[in-house]
Homo-oligomer: A and B are copies of this chain.
């Protein structure tokens, strides 16, 4: 089995917990309150922005063949920010001003710390897991959401074919990196896959509860 398939199989209980999250279910069913969705929008806008320096930090450690694709990811993230801004304007949400919630701040630190400290293959595992998680999560939403929902453009973005192709590309590259890694590094890659899944779940949980920082 390929490395990625092995991780998805091994972490299936966690992955399913993510896909069954009430935030996704309520968005799919059209029962999510607007203010709840707006919390997610504001937080994910900050997260997408923060992903840009994460991708940039990968380039100096990446094999030459990955430089242009990674620069392309930065361009795609800038486009995603525009999508948030367009949606926010269309539905009257103010994107700016909200500070990152704890789980969001933590996830961003995890990205940057990983880029600084982990091996390239380990950091690439985090990139793949995060993008795969988003693709699969929005596929869940896509299965039921009304085509005329005001949130549909998000569904289109992450559940659509272009994003599916990008995730498939990442999967192929990560499998190749895993194949050329030694056993010790491959074990750490698997840990990073699981960790990323846990941060993804924490992010949905934060979106669903609107929770800020513990104890404050």
Contacts and interface: CB of A to CB of B under 8 A. Distances in A.
Interface of A: 14, 17, 21, 49, 52-54, 56-62, 64, 67-68, 70-71, 74-75, 78, 102-103, 105-106, 108-117, 119-120, 180-185, 195, 198, 201-202, 204-206, 213-216
B214 A201 contact: yes
A181 to B, nearest CB: 5
Contacts of A181: 182, 185
The 6 residue pairs across chains A and B that have the minimum distance between CB atoms: A106-B106, A116-B116, A56-B59, A53-B60, A112-B113, A205-B215
Contacts of A59: 52-53, 56-57
Contacts of A184: 180
A201 B57 CA distance: 29
A184 B58 CA distance: 18
